[in-house]
Chains A and B, each alone.
Chain A
Amino acid sequence: MPVIVTGAITILIGVGGMLAYFWLSNILLDRVFFPAKGENIGRNVRRATAIRPWLFVFPAIFALSLYLVVPVFYSAYLSVTSFASDNLAERGRFANYAAVFSDPEFRIALFNNFLWVLVVPAASTFIGLLAAQLTDRLSWGNIAKSLVFMPMAISFVGASLIWSFVYHPDPEIGILNAIRVTFGAEGGRTFIDGDVIDSLWLMVVLIWIQTGFAMVILSAALRGVPEDTIEAAIVDGANPFQIFFKIKVPQIMPTILVVWTTITILVLKVYDIVAAMGSQYRNVEILPTQMMQSFDSGNYGFATAISIVIMVLVLPVMIWNIRQSRAELR
């Protein structure tokens, strides 16, 4: 198994190399370039202190730039310079975008993506909130939470298999069809069969995975709601539903928003579920699967153009996140 050996060596080189880098660069800084002695001691110490942070952050900055920052701009550049054919190239700088937007499949994908963004975060957050409230103060709440949270550990591909089995058209195999037949439906039905609402069946998989995430975060937020506000409401005669909707939910609204946006970001990037469950149907395509198709066929101009579209969709959340974190810093 030589790959395992290369893996082990890479870990050693990677970890050892990083340690050596940090250690040696610090030594160089302190002993060789700016030693804390001699006539310039004050100046040397100041300079060493000014440089050291950059030694610490350099590897991270380097990797982040190479793997995330540069690609953003490089992709943008490729999307206006790389064309699949000369014909396309003659139609000007934005020919890729023009071609992408006039492609009916792209419109389907964009529409589906909007559906996903509309449905999945809302459903996950709502069910997650419900689960958080239900399990709060329940004697076996932690076990319940743990089980609802479990799908988080399962890969999208694994989850797709699990749900394909639930959706199996044979009522003697798929439990959903078995339930339908028990309630009087005739024969099994193929759930993912080229219908317009097929995407909904795929969304169920992601909702199933993400509800646990929403529940865990919202559960912590619910715990953080000050007791006295709840007690005051009880004294005033509020019923449990009023307490939940009028006291608790408004107080954890910022967290709900965070959960919502986090899941939205994830939804925009989801690829595996559609690739595993709906690969033979055009009508469930979403932007990431379209992007991968262009990528696999070597049409880099198209692929980057679609990825830039995804980036633009993510941009508002990115800006909001940055503003939030800056506000927090101050």
Chain B
Amino acid sequence: MDNIAGQKSGLSIATHIATALLVLLWIIPTLGLLITSFRDQDAISQSGWWRALQGAPQPYVLSIPVDGQAQIDGGTWVVETNIFDTAAADLPQSVIDQASVDAFGISRLRGADTPAGETLETRQGVAVTLDADGNLRATSPEELTDLSIPVSLVAPPQMTLANYTEVLTDTTATERADLLDRGTTLDQLLFSDEALFGPFVNTLTVAIPATIIPILIAAFAAYALAWMDFPGRGFLIAVVVGLLVVPLQLAFVPITIIHEWFGIGKSFLGIWLAHTGFGLPLAVYLLRNYMVGLPRDIIECAKVDGATDFEIFRKIVLPLSFPALASFAIFQFLWTWNDLLVASVFLPSNTESTVMTRFVVTSLLGSRGGEWHILAAAAFVMIAVPLIVFFTMQRYLVRGLLAGSVK
């Protein structure tokens, strides 16, 4: 609208910048943890995730064997070699393959204090040059016996999935190999007490039935409330609207007692039923709002043609309501997958039946609170499924939001 009056102005640029800043502000927290989840445990504590792409300099002290390699050139002894070849024993393979020299020195005490490419000279007249590729040239008036130089090497950032495998199985790669050698099965590892894989499966087990069951119940009720005329209909709609905002906390004590009374206790069945009950108001409300908007002609024509309500519902209303059904399904799935509160109340606290959110809050934050490589990976195991659902079904989610807020 800005350019209608012919003023495509600074305001438009300001809009772009402000939006970019806002978006940046909004994704940086998530991005930070996402990058962290792929970083090596040591790298996380050495440098911030925003430096992950630079790679962090790592200090090493290399002893370079020079016996027999030195040549006399015009009265001085000269050694020419590449540190990545000759000092291979002191370095991990990944560093040899990928790293470059950031700085070097000739005194162990002072460490690597000279940038790569420059020349250093000792009091004894030994001159050392080391370039970024690791080519070393040392000259000395006397025969060199050994050369020990501190270097600082920059390896390009290592992206690793090790954090994810560690959090899912509760073992590091070496521990895992060791345990598997000794006859532990992968199944035992994945479902061990402190592994996240078990809670992941439990979360799935909670979320799917708790999403599907309420849809059907709500669809029938929504049809009746939208298209059938009966006394008390307005009152029922008002009740549903009222129940939309009832705090769940209110139901915890009574439902716990009722479940105990029915012999359901704390169990998966209990949480499925609870989620069904708690999700129904939104389901009925959302679906009714949508169904009421369906064209009256179609439904009345079908009635005139002798279709029963059951047939109209099954053959006309249900297929036409697919968008609303999808939005509710997404809502309910996100809500049940992400829920901590209902799971804390209606599921037993043992490892076999705990869900991810609860596992993270009670186990991980307690026992491994400072280990961010574990926490970051756990967070993204937890977030991954909802994010996939979100980005693939965003259309329905938005539509549901627009229909679901009381106007």
Contact = CB atoms under 8 A, between A and B. Distances in A.
A149 B398 CA distance: 10
B228 A53 contact: yes
A107 interface: no
26 contacts: A3-B205, A22-B220, A56-B220, A63-B276, A63-B277, A64-B277, A67-B274, A78-B254, A138-B19, A146-B394, A154-B383, A155-B357, A161-B33, A168-B372, A173-B44, A174-B48, A175-B49, A208-B26, A217-B401, A234-B1, A259-B405, A279-B361, A292-B341, A307-B247, A307-B252, A318-B242
A104 interface: no
A275 B212 contact: no
Contacts of A18: 213, 216-217, 220
Contacts of A243: 1
Contacts of B268: 3, 6-7, 10
A22 to B, nearest CB: 6
B112 interface: no
A114 interface: no
A216 interface: yes
A144 B22 contact: yes
Nearest to A326: B238
Interface in B130-147: none
Given A6-B269, A50-B230, A165-B33, 15 more contacts: A26-B310, A53-B228, A57-B221, A130-B22, A134-B19, A138-B16, A150-B27, A153-B387, A157-B338, A175-B50, A230-B1, A265-B245, A272-B357, A310-B247, A326-B234
Contacts of A68: 243, 246, 251, 277-278, 280-281
Contacts of B216: 14-15, 18-19
Contacts of B96: none
A54 B372 CA distance: 54
Interface in B235-287: 236-255, 257-258, 268-269, 272-274, 276-278, 280-281, 284
B213 A4 contact: no
A312 B257 CA distance: 23
A166 B48 CA distance: 11
B134 to A, nearest CB: 28
Contacts of A95: none
A1 interface: yes
Contacts of A131: 19, 22
Most interface-central of A69, A131, A161, A163 (chain B CB within 10 A): A161
B225 interface: yes
A4 B201 contact: yes
Given A72-B246, A150-B387, A275-B340, A14 B361 contact: no
B218 to A, nearest CB: 6
Main secondary structure of the interface of B (DSSP, over half): helix
Contacts of B33: 161-162, 165
Nearest to A302: B253
B123 interface: no
Contacts, number: 348
A-B pairs, top 6 by smallest CB distance, nearest first, are A67-B277, A155-B338, A60-B221, A153-B390, A56-B224, A74-B254
Interface string A232-253: 0010000010010000000000
Interface string A284-311: 0000100110010000100110111011
B281 A151 contact: no
A60 B218 contact: yes
B58 to A, nearest CB: 15
Interface of A: 1, 3-4, 6-7, 10-11, 14-15, 18-19, 22-23, 26, 30, 50, 52-54, 56-57, 59-61, 63-64, 66-72, 74-75, 78, 127, 130-131, 134-135, 137-138, 141, 144, 146-158, 161-163, 165-166, 168, 170-175, 178, 208, 211, 213, 216-217, 220, 230-231, 234, 240, 243, 254-255, 258-259, 261-262, 265, 268-269, 271-272, 275-276, 279, 288, 291-292, 295, 300, 303-304, 306-308, 310-311, 314, 317-318, 321-322, 324-326, 328-329
A216 B402 contact: yes
B353 interface: yes
Interface string B54-75: 0000000000000000000000
Contacts of A321: 241-242, 244-245, 406
B282 to A, nearest CB: 11
Contact of A324 (B23, B223, B234, B407): B407
Contact of A11 (B213, B233, B281): B213
A72 B200 CA distance: 33
A26 B248 CA distance: 34
B192 interface: no
B4 interface: yes
Given A78-B254, A269-B249, A275-B361, A60 B22 contact: no
B238 A144 contact: no
B338 A310 contact: no
Contacts of B309: 52, 56
A300 B379 CA distance: 33
B29 A208 contact: yes
Contacts of B155: none
Contacts of A230: 1
B344 interface: yes
A73 to B, nearest CB: 9
Contacts of A30: 308
Nearest to A62: B217
B252 A303 contact: yes
Contact of B398 (A141, A216, A255, A276): A216
Given A11-B212, A64-B240, A172-B47, A158 B19 contact: no
A15 B211 CA distance: 11
Interface string B371-407: 0100110110011001101110010011001100111
A3 B361 contact: no
A14 B255 contact: no
Contacts of B15: 134, 138
A153 B361 CA distance: 18
Contact of A56 (B221, B255, B339, B398): B221
Given A15-B216, A165-B372, A231-B4, A134 B18 contact: yes
A22 B310 contact: yes
A68 B285 CA distance: 15
B119 interface: no
A61 B236 contact: yes
Contacts of A156: 338, 340, 357
A265 B405 CA distance: 12
B245 A317 contact: yes
B5 interface: yes
B387 A154 contact: yes
